[in-house]
Chain A
Amino acid sequence: MSLLAVERLNKAFGGVVAAHDVSFAVERGEMLALIGPNGAGKSTVFNMIGGQLPPDRGAVLLEDKAITLASPQERFRQGIGRTFQIAQAFHSMTVCENVQMALISHHRESRAIWTEARQHHRRDALDLLSQVGMAEAADRSCSVLAYGDVKRVELAIALAGEPKLLLMDEPTAGMAFRERAALMDLTHSIARTRRIGILFTEHDMDVVFGHASRILVLLRGEIIAAGSPAEIRENAQVRQAYLGNAPALTGAP
Chain B
Amino acid sequence: MDLSFVAIQALNGLASASSLFITACGLTLVFGVTRIVNFAHGSLYMVGAFTAATLVPWMLELWFGPVSFWLGIVISALIVGLLGVVIEVLLLRRIYGAPELFQLLATFGIVLVLQDLVVQIFGPQDILGPRAPGLRAPVEILGRRFPSYELVLIAAGPAVLAAVWFVLRKTRFGTLIRAATQDREMVAALGVNQALLFTGTLFLGAFLAGLGGALQIPRVAANTGMDLSIIAECFVVTVVGGMGSVPGAFLAALIIGQLQAFGILIFPKSTLVVVFLLMAVVLAIRPYGFFGRPEILGGTHAVGIASRKPMARGTLLATIGIVLLACLPLIGDPYLLKVATEILVFALFAFSLQLLIGVGGLVSFGHAAFFGLGAYGSALTVKWLGAPMEAAFPAGLLLAALGAALIGAFVVRLSGIYLAMMTLAAAQILYAIAFQWVEVTGGDNGIVGVWPSNWVAGRSAYYLLTLALTVITVLFLKKIIESPFGYALRAARDSEPRAEAIGIAVRQQRWLAFILAGAGAGIAGSLYAFSRGSVDPSLLGIPTSVDALTMLLLGGIQTIAGPLAGSAVLHILRDQIMPLTSLWRLFLGLSIIGMVLVFPRGLVGTIRQWGEDRA
- A interface residues with partner B (beta carbon < 8 Å): 50, 52, 71-73, 76-77, 81-82, 84, 88-94, 97, 100-102, 104-106, 109-118, 120, 141, 143, 154, 157-158, 160-161
State A141–B502 Cα separation when bound (angstroms): 20
* Nearest A-chain residue to B500, judged by Cβ: A72
B143 in contact (CB, < 8 A): no
B314 in contact (CB, < 8 A): no
Task: Take A73-B500, A104-B488 as given contacts and tell me if A92 and B305 are in contact as well, using a CB distance cutoff of 8 Å.
Answer: yes
Task: Take A81-B501, A105-B502, A106-B503 as given contacts and tell me if A113 and B495 are in contact as well, using a CB distance cutoff of 8 Å.
Answer: no
B483 in contact (CB, < 8 A): yes
State A106–B504 Cα separation when bound (angstroms): 9
Contact of A77 among B480, B483, B494, B503 (CB under 8 A): B503
Q: Which residues of A contact B483 (CB under 8 A)?
A: 112-117
What's the minimum C-beta distance from A110 to chain B, rounded to whole angstroms? Answer: 4
B581 in contact (CB, < 8 A): no
The answer to whether B503 touches A116, judged by C-beta atoms less than 8 angstroms apart, is: no
State A81–B503 Cα separation when bound (angstroms): 10
Q: Which residues of B contact A88 (CB under 8 A)?
A: 495, 497-498, 501
What's the minimum C-beta distance from A60 to chain B, rounded to whole angstroms? Answer: 16
Q: Which residues of B contact A114 (CB under 8 A)?
A: 479, 483
Contact of A91 among B494, B499, B501, B504 (CB under 8 A): B494
The answer to whether B494 touches A110, judged by C-beta atoms less than 8 angstroms apart, is: no
Task: Take A104-B488, A116-B483 as given contacts and tell me if A92 and B503 are in contact as well, using a CB distance cutoff of 8 Å.
Answer: no
The answer to whether A89 touches B306, judged by C-beta atoms less than 8 angstroms apart, is: no
The answer to whether A76 touches B485, judged by C-beta atoms less than 8 angstroms apart, is: no
B304 in contact (CB, < 8 A): yes
State A118–B483 Cα separation when bound (angstroms): 8
Q: Can you list 21 A-B pairs with a CB-CB distance of less than 8 A?
A: A71-B500, A76-B500, A76-B502, A84-B501, A88-B501, A90-B490, A93-B487, A93-B491, A93-B494, A100-B487, A101-B502, A106-B502, A110-B484, A110-B504, A110-B509, A111-B485, A115-B483, A117-B484, A118-B482, A158-B502, A161-B503
* Nearest B-chain residue to A84, judged by Cβ: B497
B299 in contact (CB, < 8 A): no
What's the minimum C-beta distance from B444 to chain A, rounded to whole angstroms? Answer: 40
Q: Which residues of B contact A111 (CB under 8 A)?
A: 484-485, 488, 509, 512
Q: Which residues of A contact B482 (CB under 8 A)?
A: 116-118
* Nearest A-chain residue to B310, judged by Cβ: A118
Given contacts A72-B497, A73-B504, A111-B512, 17 further A-B contacts (CB under 8 A): A52-B497, A76-B501, A76-B503, A82-B501, A91-B495, A93-B487, A101-B491, A104-B488, A105-B503, A106-B503, A110-B487, A115-B484, A116-B483, A117-B482, A141-B306, A141-B307, A157-B498
State A82–B500 Cα separation when bound (angstroms): 10
Q: Which residues of A contact B484 (CB under 8 A)?
A: 104, 109-113, 115, 117, 120
Where chain A touches its partner, the secondary structure class is: mixed
The total of Cβ contacts below 8 Å across the A-B interface reads: 114
State A73–B486 Cα separation when bound (angstroms): 18
CB-based closest 6 A-B pairs: A76-B503, A88-B498, A92-B306, A110-B488, A117-B487, A90-B494
Residue-by-residue, is B358-375 near A (CB-CB < 8 Å gives 1, otherwise 0)? 000000000000000000
What's the minimum C-beta distance from A57 to chain B, rounded to whole angstroms? Answer: 24
Residue-by-residue, is B460-496 near A (CB-CB < 8 Å gives 1, otherwise 0)? 0000000000000000000110111111101101110
State A91–B492 Cα separation when bound (angstroms): 11
Q: Which residues of A contact B497 (CB under 8 A)?
A: 52, 72, 84, 88
B505 in contact (CB, < 8 A): yes
Task: Take A111-B512, A141-B306 as given contacts and tell me if A84 and B490 are in contact as well, using a CB distance cutoff of 8 Å.
Answer: no
State A249–B31 Cα separation when bound (angstroms): 50
State A116–B490 Cα separation when bound (angstroms): 14
The answer to whether B502 touches A157, judged by C-beta atoms less than 8 angstroms apart, is: yes
Residue among B303, B486, B497, B502 having the largest count of chain A Cβ atoms under 10 Å: B502
State A161–B498 Cα separation when bound (angstroms): 13
State A154–B494 Cα separation when bound (angstroms): 14
What's the minimum C-beta distance from A55 to chain B, rounded to whole angstroms? Answer: 18
State A69–B495 Cα separation when bound (angstroms): 22
What's the minimum C-beta distance from A9 to chain B, rounded to whole angstroms? Answer: 20
Q: Which residues of B contact A72 (CB under 8 A)?
A: 497, 500-501, 503
State A87–B55 Cα separation when bound (angstroms): 59
Task: Take A101-B491, A104-B487, A117-B483 as given contacts and tell me if A90 and B498 are in contact as well, using a CB distance cutoff of 8 Å.
Answer: yes
The answer to whether B487 touches A101, judged by C-beta atoms less than 8 angstroms apart, is: yes
The answer to whether B502 touches A113, judged by C-beta atoms less than 8 angstroms apart, is: no
* Nearest A-chain residue to B497, judged by Cβ: A88
The answer to whether A93 touches B488, judged by C-beta atoms less than 8 angstroms apart, is: no
* Nearest B-chain residue to A167, judged by Cβ: B501
Contact of B479 among A93, A100, A106, A113 (CB under 8 A): A113
Q: Which residues of A contact B491 (CB under 8 A)?
A: 90, 93, 101
The answer to whether A112 touches B485, judged by C-beta atoms less than 8 angstroms apart, is: yes
State A105–B505 Cα separation when bound (angstroms): 9
